[in-house]
A and B are shown apart, each in its own frame.
Chain A
Amino acid sequence: MIEYWQKELETISRKDLEKLQLTRLWQTMERAEKSSFYQKVFAEYNISADKIQSLEDLKKLPFTTKDDLRNYYPFGMAAIPLKDCVRLHSSSGTTGNPTVVLHSAKDLDEWANQVARCMYMVGIRDTDIFQNTSGYGMFTGGLGFQYGAEKLGCLTVPSAAGNSKRQIKFITDFGTTCLHIIPSYAIRLAEVMLAEGIDPQRDTKLHTFCIGAEPHSEEQRQRIERMLGIKAYNCFGMSEMNGPGVAFECKEQNGLHIWEDYTIVEIIDPVTLEPVPDGEVGELVLTTINREAMPLIRYRTRDLTCILPGECKCGRTHKRIARFKGRSDDMIILKGVNIFPIQVEEILMQFKELGSNYLITMGTIDNNDEMLIEVELGDFSTDDYSRLQNLTRTITRHLKDELLITPRLKLVSKGSLPVQEGKVVRVVDLRVNS
């Protein structure tokens, strides 16, 4: 028997869902027109809500980009007076202006509901003790999960990021059952547990992890599940779309349901900007249809994914998107070949001899751009020299088949690559012309 947080909305018929979407799109456009950005855009394109007859007409609307958010920093996207806003989240502005997302009280409540719906979907209940290892503050993974877990009724442990030994102490002392964690840090935490002589299955009550905020492979998920004896579910969010809760895996672990009563989802070819058919990879474009303070219309997320065709066994009618292929921004172009770091990870994780930590460095050697991949050995050592050489050769061959270029592979000893608690830097670009 499958349980739902909001059965009617989660299993709504496609016809009713699309009707709801259209109504909410109209409301969104009417609200959006009050912001200085959309006022200008709608006038420029001569569009208004009454010109939208069906969801098909969405195509008539122009895209919104991250640059638009930057150019209208800080409050040019606000569709309601600031006095009616109760929270602001801002992304780090490493290049140019940061972006700002505003929330009304209702927006925060809806966001919490989205997250609660996701958590309920993977089996988290009000009897669970939920520890959130995200950074709090401006990073939406902190407060986003906090409010969602509270709405669901969990006992929450806002442990925030870092300090593995303290995290583990909380897990064992409080009997934490669920964790929100970045996948690379989940592996790190498991390693620290084992080093401390803690058996995750015997000494903890952990059963469910929500993992997200950085691209990871299926192999890495399975490794986390094996190391800790838990189930790990992929979550997706982005600060422009509130944060976590936009899409989440159900217990089928086959694609992430994207909540279509909150967002309209499109997948486009990032070059032609035309929609691509289901099953084909393209850029995810989202329209918020249940947000007051800052509606975004056809927002280009830069995330690459595809819609999984077919219905999900869990009974939810909301479309599923595939595991992310990376961000179009993360793409490395080397010798004219497009490469995503996740492709490298997928290959490396297939070798049980290897650990989980790796680093990709691009450099220029004798005017040639080269890729160096350093990867740590796992609990594996050998006296057999040729076995190490064969291993290097085999991995290199698999990488070449996947990437279409031949990287230089370097096996390094366990623990020798930098360990970061938080988002891990996997790619370093030292190329002369980069």
Chain B
Amino acid sequence: MTVNQISIFLENKYGKLNELLTLLSKENIRIIAATVADTTEFGILRMIVSDAQKAHQLLKDNNVSVNLTEVLAIAAQPAADGFADILSHFTKAGLSIEYMYCFSSKEKSVLILRTNNRESALEVIRKQNLKCITENDLMNL
């Protein structure tokens, strides 16, 4: 039900982001979705990529502060209330969203999110029968 997300500690330094992305592109790792959260001192780059394990190893070997995090990847209807619908299930279950971002591919919208309680979130998904994206799906996107 979950997919692996690459999280990278990123200091605010000219050219740093470009350097990382070039590294991935050279190894033919596709970036499916990415988001950067930043403060004045540092940022965290979060990415969904075509091969998370490979990307993780590659970055580690290049001395990048990186880790793999399990996140939920849920397919949403491309309608106006598509995202709101999904989030409302989590809210009703008393869960908070720590962060969220989304991407679209082939008329499919995908919501990447992390809540404050993994087990309860998985239960919500099962109960509400929400459609999840798997690692295999990502490779084929």
Contact = CB atoms under 8 A, between A and B. Distances in A.
A411 B67 contact: no
Interface size class for chain A? 10 to 19
Interface in A387-434: 388-389, 392, 410-416
A380 interface: yes
Nearest to A384: B98
B85 interface: no
Interface of B: 5, 7-11, 13, 37, 39, 41-42, 44, 46, 63-67, 69, 99, 114
B121 to A, nearest CB: 15
A382 B42 contact: no
A412 B67 contact: no
Interface centre among A383, A388, A413 (most CB of B within 10 A): A383
B41 A410 contact: yes
Contact of B7 (A381, A411, A415, A416): A381
A380 B10 CA distance: 13
A414 B41 contact: no
A64 B69 CA distance: 63
A415 B13 CA distance: 13
B59 to A, nearest CB: 9
Interface in A318-345: none
B67 A382 contact: yes
A383 B10 CA distance: 11
Main secondary structure of the interface of B (DSSP, over half): strand
Contact of A385 (B37, B63, B67): B37
The 9 tightest CB contacts between A and B, nearest first, are: A383-B7, A381-B65, A383-B69, A415-B63, A381-B67, A412-B11, A413-B65, A377-B65, A381-B9
Contacts of B65: 377, 380-381, 413-414
Contact of A388 (B8, B9, B63, B66): B9
Contacts of B39: 389
Given A389-B39, A411-B11, A412-B13, 17 more contacts: A377-B9, A380-B65, A381-B9, A383-B5, A383-B7, A385-B99, A388-B42, A388-B44, A410-B42, A412-B11, A413-B10, A413-B63, A413-B64, A414-B63, A414-B64, A415-B63, A416-B13
A413 B37 CA distance: 16
A399 to B, nearest CB: 15
A413 B11 CA distance: 6
B41 A392 contact: yes
B84 to A, nearest CB: 24
A415 B41 CA distance: 17
A411 B8 contact: no
A410 B41 CA distance: 6
A306 B114 CA distance: 54
B117 to A, nearest CB: 14
B19 to A, nearest CB: 11
A188 to B, nearest CB: 13
Contacts of A388: 9, 42, 44
Contacts of A413: 9-11, 63-65
B66 A381 contact: yes
Given A412-B11, A414-B63, A416-B11, A383 B46 contact: yes
Contacts of A412: 11, 13, 42
20 contacts: A377-B9, A377-B65, A380-B65, A381-B7, A381-B67, A383-B5, A383-B46, A383-B69, A385-B37, A388-B9, A410-B41, A411-B41, A411-B42, A412-B11, A412-B42, A413-B10, A413-B11, A413-B64, A414-B63, A416-B13
A110 to B, nearest CB: 46
B63 to A, nearest CB: 4
A204 to B, nearest CB: 23
Contacts of A377: 9, 65
A2 to B, nearest CB: 44
A416 B16 CA distance: 10
Interface centre among A388, A412, A415, A416 (most CB of B within 10 A): A412
A239 to B, nearest CB: 36
A190 to B, nearest CB: 15
B44 A383 contact: yes
Nearest to A355: B65
A408 B11 CA distance: 15
Given A410-B41, A410-B42, A411-B42, A382 B9 contact: yes
